[in-house]
Amino acid sequence: MTRDEAQKLSEKLIKLSVYPECNISINETEQAYTRFANNGITTASFSRRRSVSISVTRDGQTGSYSVDELDDASLSDAVKKAEELATFAPANPERLTPLGPQEYPTVSDYDEFTATARSPQMIPHVKTIVDASVKQELVAAGLVERARQVRAIANKAGLFGYHESADSQLTTTIRMADG
């Protein structure tokens, strides 16, 4: 999810709420991995998870609801459920007023190659480990994975924050052939 897409989604949700305070939190994680054992690839996977949390407040009463379906009907229903839940909540005497617009520093935590890597980029690393293990009559097992994450926050007071990151790691265990 791009910054623009996250901002548009946040604005859409905020407009759906009739409550004076509405906070949005968007999380997206995309993960790919290749697992290997006994000197061979055993599993490869790709997954993408998205969720949106809506928190609304009126007269100190707050209701929150999370949803992972991002179609219009599901989002509208989620806002209504958060507002309904707020009617049951006691007023919070320690509630703080929401933050308005903020200036967030730019953090370089994203690499496009890492964020989009799939099996074709991961398998050569596995092959190097397995080939070295076989050559020395050893047995390798491990995992190479990467993740791309997007986090966004927004509220009716004008706050919007967005952060995109990418990370990868490789773990391996190499044993003698007899274990």
pLDDT band at 179 (very low <50, low <70, confident <90, very high): confident
The one-letter amino acid code at 147 reads: A
Domain containing 61 equals 3-176
How does pLDDT run across 122-171, given as a tens digit for each residue?
Answer: 999 999 999 999 999 999 999 999 999 999 999 999 999 999 999 999 99
Burial class (CB in 10 A: 0-12, 13-18, 19+), 79: buried
The whole-model pTM stands at 0.85
Q: Which residues pair with 161 in a beta bridge?
A: 153
In the chain, the number of structural domains is 1
How does pLDDT run across 65-84, given as a tens digit for each residue?
Answer: 999 999 999 999 999 999 99
Looking up residue 53, the CATH number of its domain turns out to be: 3.30.2290.10
pLDDT of 178 > 90? The answer is no
135 vs 69: CA distance, rounded Å: 49
Q: Of 54, 66, 68, 61, nearest to 16 (Cα)?
A: 54
